[in-house]
A and B are shown apart, each in its own frame.
Chain A
């Protein structure tokens, strides 16, 4: 038997249940979403199926309406069926996986599991998404087959966007079931798996909540303000912009309080049990229903003045009044902002010598010590804790990575000096001459294992490729400031960009040309991809605007043209090279980054979170690196040749709209809908596996006997496009939807995509469109309004409408 998950059932349609149903549906799993029948039905309503499904329908509607979207594309909702616990419970016999996400109450959960035990088909996997209730207590007394197939699968909110999935073995779970679910979670749902133990609040929330509540306590003790604490625990410490208190507002103070209390009650032996006691002012806030985003007021609140101006305010813990606030200002913050790398920034903060730094040090040290003390209680290795914090809380570094970053020895010395109790296993590690928790050797990453006192390889999926580790192991073939060529093994190379936001500059364009020559001579195929961090991160945010703006200012339009020509030639050379090229985009893939994918690569292996688009019009430009040509080709490539009198206008309009409205997809699925991904392009849910999957794709293409595409003339809509677009733009301008300059740009864009003044349905050479692109691009740069748009974007990061 080969186990498969074809269908799943999610029991409970709240925020988490809905989120889990959405990710399942987005991954193509038919999902049954169930919830209880409302208690307050009248006799008539009790017979009405709609009334009986009222609760689950509301949950489903929330899934569909949520923004940012929980579903990868609206039509994924079709894979979700709704029902209730009374009329549809028997349907659980037909599903492959049942996930329980009902209210966090042991008795209710036990009742649900007892009912499941009666109807489920033997062998069906059952899991609980509980965030704190012991699995042992939930499954006690149930059938052996149930207990063998029962585990914890703990997702984080919002499920689509949070990478973490904690897997918790029950007392009797079969090892193959655990392995299967970890594999399913990793590959199909794209999650990062953390192996947790059946302890209160598992890994992420145990460490995360201790850190958060402890920091709140210290803030009160040290007399800092909330914005000061947030400034210290924001990006300078590798934490998300929402830092501590804004994150709490997002999560909801009641939820935070619930988890903290639950933990406090269960961890009676914990040396830091008091770290789970919320400061008095937070308790008062919860009582006053100041719960954060959901009640529109939490630690922070945005007020509107009578003039509709937004004023951001923060609560004063002493008075519970909302007051205005300024920027936090500590010497350590200034030093951190001046520092280049994250470890340097962290050091500037924790080893600083001011009030803010003292607070940050105490809070950080507490979390480091607490984390070390939790092994092996909550997980066997430091890797699990670090991953949980990175994937569930969006930290750039987990506690042990942070410890490495600020220097283990130095931190331990300071802890001792401050009278903190340093865990013996950390002292033992240092005593044995091991200075760091992690090290990289021969392209592999190793972690320090407390249990054996040795370094062990960080376990990763066999598909996973770690570019920094490969570079560390000397696998770099060529490199420059902006890009590198890395050997992925098996004769497959990777072209990695590493500029800011991976913007494409002159150096990358040159490097790409050299790369193609090198691969032609020495390798089987090429992956274009990178692993820059961040949420959602950027495969490439576009062309280097500042570089071109400099040329434009100096009136060097010929140089812009030459730069573009080189870029176009490089793309074409790559496209028609004799070896397969696979692009592996993720996150922001805009402008030039998008052009590389649709223009240079034979295939795209995209991460599911793909924000792809040709957005040049926002800065008064058009795709000039082959984007107009290649989007048109991509959208029309699959019309069979014997469909001879196809109305190209039907293809032209959406292609033009993509570019003229700077449409950016909200997922890879939507990028496919928009025409950026074709039928041969693949979507991968797990970003960690993206480069590995792209490499596999290259190898498959080589194995299949790769033949490069043949360059032939392409069919264009010609002058008919101009009439259509000019007439429609007139309406849009009259309606006030577009500016006069937008119309000027859009008309020219239509002219380029349609192949210029060609007869409708004419066949023209690709180079003709590329030339039209370049001419338009240079002409646009000569316009004052384009230069103004670019300048505004470079200054503010926002588009200017002029």
Chain B
């Protein structure tokens, strides 16, 4: 099997659903921009050399439907022969797309591919526009369609993750992100054109464009006291609040993946190799435990232990589930290796984009810190976990 090299990994900023900088920016625009930017940032790469593009999206419908993976490629100016697809595994969709694109390299079917993810939660709400759970199956098993907030409550209740611990975790995420933002450490972000509709004196709207270069969900002013005051949003007497849950966000991210042959031909210096990717199922009503099963499965495949991993990106869908997984895996001794620039509680969780977004962040940090092995993992709605191992190139 050949190696799959990630040459470029970039992302747009993550911006708040409905209120943030991308609230008037079509998802296809976010994606086509970041696709173009990835090519621009890969010296010598011509768009026509890309064999295929795969884009993860959790709710691939309406504005991000109609196979947005192909549409955005066209909008971004790739020639006709460059194909595109949309893949969906909910919250690991972006990572799934990168893994599938990498596999094409590994098995020798392609030399240059792009994998990535997209979600505009503003344009297509979580759950989609037209959710239709099965009428008969839901009589016995409505849990298959359980709301994500309830799964977070279930994890907190079943495994005793306290409100205080969740709030503390959320606070730290915000503080790490605030610091990274202030120190301009998110070098994987490409300043992205955003749209806004500006009301004119005559009552019409004018479409204007501006450049957005930061994640606008970070709350530098967060305090533990403030977090403690928030009401539970998903259950009566619950512990999961808006403050200790991930933010709903708009964003896109992609990675350019190449074979050793292509890297050499173009004279590039790749960032990392995608070594392994795995997924695993779990109970739907506690989907947040996914990483607790996916990570050991991944490490077993790779023949590594947690001590070998220098950096972790574990998606913070909810503080309760992230904390549970960290504790169960014995990772709490390595807190300084986990989500070092904050996680989804501060930066947002643009569902289908997240897998690709965390990849870009992880690779940036691995290179900056000279870390050999990095792991990315997340829980997945419906009851799954995914994890991937990256190895830094010399």
Judge whether A419 is part of the interface by a CB distance below 8 angstroms: no
Q: Is the CB of A727 within 8 A of B142?
A: yes
Q: Are B153 and A735 in contact (CB under 8 A)?
A: yes
Could you tell me the dominant secondary structure of chain A's interface residues?
helix
The one of B132, B138, B150 that contacts A734, using a Cβ cutoff of 8 Å: B150
Complex CA gap A734/B153 in Å reads 9
Q: Is the CB of A726 within 8 A of B236?
A: no
The contact of A736 among B132, B138, B236, by CB within 8 Å, is: B236
Inter-subunit contact B134/A723 (CB<8 Å)? yes
Does B143 contact A649, Cβ atoms closer than 8 Å?
no
Contacts A734-B235, A735-B235 given; does A722 touch B130 at CB 8 Å: no
> How many residue pairs between the two chains, A and B, have CB atoms under 8 Å in the bound complex?
59
B contacts, CB < 8 Å to A:
129-135, 137-139, 142-143, 145-147, 149-150, 153-154, 234-238
Number of interface residues of A (CB under 8 A): 17
Residue contact A726 to B133, C-beta cutoff 8 Å: yes
**For chain A residues 602-657, which have a beta carbon within 8 Å of chain B?**
647, 649
Chain B residue contacts of A734, Cβ below 8 A: 146, 150, 153-154, 235
Q: Is A737 an interface residue (CB 8 A)?
A: yes
Complex contacts, B133 vs chain A, CB 8 Å: 723-724, 726-727
CB-nearest residue of chain A relative to B144? A727
Q: Which of chain B's residues has its CB closest to A731's CB?
A: B147
- Given A726-B142, A727-B145, check contact A736 B237 (CB 8 Å): yes
Q: What residues of A have a CB within 8 angstroms of the CB of B139 in the complex?
A: 722, 726
Q: Which residues of B are found within 8 Å of A647, using beta-carbon distances?
A: 129-130
Instruction: Compute how far the CA of A720 lies from the CA of B129 in the bound complex, rounded to whole angstroms.
Output: 14
CB pair A731 B138 closer than 8 Å: no
On chain B, the residues within 8 Å of A726 by CB distance are 133, 135, 138-139, 142
Q: How many angstroms from the CA of A437 to the CA of B342 in the assembled complex?
A: 81
* Docked complex: A97-112 residues within 8 A CB-CB of B: none
In the complex, A641→B279 CA distance in Å?
48
Asked if A723 meets B132 with Cβ closer than 8 Å, knowing A730-B142, A731-B150, the reply is yes
In whole angstroms, what is the CA distance A735 to B237 when docked? 8
Residue of A nearest to B137 (CB): A723
The answer to the question of A719 belonging to the interface, with a C-beta cut-off of 8 Å to chain B, is: yes
User: Quick check: A724 and B236 within 8 Å, CB to CB?
Assistant: no
Which residues of A are found within 8 Å of B149, using beta-carbon distances? 731
Per the bound structure, the CA–CA distance linking A737 and B147 in Å amounts to 14
Which residue of chain A is the closest to B129 with respect to CB atoms? A647
Q: Which residues 712-739 of A sit at the B interface, judged by CB distance below 8 A? A: 719-724, 726-727, 729-731, 734-737
Decide: B238 and A735 in contact? CB cutoff 8 A.
yes
Query: Assuming A719-B135, A726-B138, A727-B133, is B145 touching A735 (CB within 8 A)?
Result: no
- Distance in Å from the Cβ of B31 to the closest Cβ of chain A? 26
Cβ contact within 8 Å between B135 and A729? no
CA distance A735 to B147 in the complex (A): 10
A84 to B142, CA, bound (A): 57
Q: Is the CB of B135 within 8 A of A720?
A: yes
Question: B142 contacts which chain A residues (CB < 8 A)?
Answer: 726-727, 729-730
A–B pairs, 30, beta carbons within 8 Å: A647-B129, A647-B130, A649-B130, A649-B132, A721-B135, A722-B135, A722-B138, A722-B139, A723-B134, A723-B135, A723-B137, A723-B138, A724-B132, A724-B133, A726-B135, A726-B139, A727-B131, A727-B145, A729-B142, A730-B138, A731-B146, A734-B150, A734-B235, A735-B153, A735-B234, A735-B235, A735-B236, A735-B238, A736-B237, A737-B235
The 9 closest A-B pairs by CB, nearest first: A730-B142, A736-B236, A723-B133, A735-B235, A727-B145, A726-B138, A722-B135, A727-B133, A719-B135
Q: With A and B bound together, what is the CA distance between A721 and B131 in angstroms? A: 10
Alpha-carbon gap, A647 to B61, bound state (A): 15
